[in-house]
């Protein structure tokens, strides 16, 4: 378990490595979506493995670094790659970058992921605005002593995904002619893909998409009082929806196909959103 001093040490390292950079928002990029980090203006790079107390990203399509700079005039800290439970990390380790970004000044988080479509009306390539999540896995970044400097012992999760952010993204999607869905993310630890029987259960329980990330970061960000926007890219239909095996490559291929419209959507949101709390 980490102390508040550990987080401070990590934040101080990143601050010094980026010349005192103060982000307005943290942008978390999922599998195959790291290309957005390449559009950052005047970028400064910090490898996760160089930051005290950090863990390194080992998942395919994850560069494992922070990119600090500007997107559409806003100061952003971009995670090109994230950390997952299936890499052998605890939930606290997976969410560690979020708390570090909070200490650097980030008051909001845009979290993205590649996911499997569970809702039978969804199609590969569609974007889903997250309105809630379901987590039955017995992992949590808040396990252990509470760090009151970040938030309360028992934090409310009723409004995890910011309603104003969701409404704005819907508007931007309409302007771009995109059919943005709005749904519930069901968290599974992985690394194996789900079985068809598990996906049938997820559907009954109310999940629209399924994935192996996002939730630890959202719990930590919500605990720390950050405003959150979640976006899922449906890169494949989940097991049993179509009669075909699931592969890692199809996730990366579909993410590459989404590069154009995904980037435009996030960039426009970043430009038009009030990223600071109360902003």
Domains and CATH numbers, the chain: 4-272 (3.40.50.1580)
Q: What percent of the chain has pLDDT over 90?
A: 79
Does pLDDT of 35 surpass 90? no
CB 85 within 8 A of CB 94: yes
pLDDT in tens, 154-177: 999 999 999 999 999 999 999 999
Predicted pLDDT at 279: 56
Distance CA 123, CA 136 (A): 25
Buried-exposed string 63-72: b where 16+ CB fall within 10 A, e elsewhere: bbbbbbbbbe
pLDDT in tens, 243-263: 777 777 877 788 888 888 999
Confidence band of 274 (pLDDT split at 50, 70, 90):
confident
pLDDT, averaged across the chain: 92
If pLDDT is split at 50, 70 and 90, which confidence band does 76 have?
very high
**Cβ density class 30-40: b for 16+ within 10 Å, e for less:** bbbbbbbbeeb
| Range with the poorest average pLDDT among 141-145, 184-188, 272-276 | 272-276
Residue 61: predicted pLDDT? 63
The model's pTM: 0.94
């Amino acid at each position: 378990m980490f102390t508040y001093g550990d987080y401070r040490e990590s934040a101080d390292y990143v601050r010094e490595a980026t010349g005192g950079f103060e982000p307005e928002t943290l942008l978390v990029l999922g599998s195959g979506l790291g290309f957005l980090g390449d559009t950052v203006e005047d970028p400064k790079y910090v490898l996760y493995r160089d930051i005290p107390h950090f863990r390194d990203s080992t998942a395919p399509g994850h560069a494992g670094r922070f990119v600090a700079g500007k997107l559409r005039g806003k100061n952003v800290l971009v995670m090109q790659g994230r950390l997952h439970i299936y890499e052998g990390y605890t939930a606290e380790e997976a969410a560690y970058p979020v708390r570090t970004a909070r200490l650097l000044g980030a008051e909001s988080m845009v979290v993205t992921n590649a996911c499997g479509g569970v809702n039978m009306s969804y199609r590969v390539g569609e974007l889903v605005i997250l309105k809630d999540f379901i987590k039955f896995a017995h992992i949590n970044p808040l396990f252990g002593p509470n760090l009151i400097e970040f938030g309360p012992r028992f934090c409310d999760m009723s409004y995890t995904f910011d309603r104003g952010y969701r409404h704005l993204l819907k508007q931007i999607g309409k302007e771009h002619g995109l059919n943005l869905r709005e749904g519930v993310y069901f968290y599974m630890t992985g690394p194996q893909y789900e079985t068809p029987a598990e996906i049938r259960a997820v559907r009954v329980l109310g999940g629209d998409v399924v994935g192996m990330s996002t939730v630890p970061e959202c719990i930590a960000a919500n605990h720390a009082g950050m405003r959150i926007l979640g976006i899922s890219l449906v890169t494949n239909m989940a097991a049993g929806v179509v009669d075909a095996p699931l592969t890692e490559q199809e996730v990366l291929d579909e993410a590459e196909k989404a590069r154009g419209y995904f980037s435009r959507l996030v960039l426009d949101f970043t430009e038009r959103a009030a990223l600071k709390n109360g902003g």
